[in-house]
Copies of this chain bind each other. A is one copy, B any other.
Amino acid sequence: MSGAITRRAEDYLRAIYEIVERKGFARVKDIAKEMNLKASTVVEMVRKLHRYGLVNYEKYGGVTLTQDGRTIAESIKERHETFRKFLEIILVPKEIALKDSHILEHQLDPKTILQFTRFVKFITESKERPKFVSRWLEQFKEYCRREEAAQQSNRKEVR
Contact = CB atoms under 8 A, between A and B. Distances in A.
Interface in A85-117: 87, 90-93, 96-97, 99-100, 103-104, 107-109, 111-112, 115-116
Contact of A109 (B100, B129, B132, B144): B100
A38 interface: no
Number of copies: 2
A8 to B, nearest CB: 13
A104 to B, nearest CB: 7
A119 interface: yes
Contacts of A119: 90, 140
A150 to B, nearest CB: 11
Contacts of A100: 107-109, 112
A58 B116 CA distance: 45
A109 to B, nearest CB: 5
Contact of A108 (B91, B103, B109): B103
Interface of A: 87, 90-93, 96-97, 99-100, 103-104, 107-109, 111-112, 115-116, 118-119, 122, 129, 132, 136, 139-140, 143-144, 147
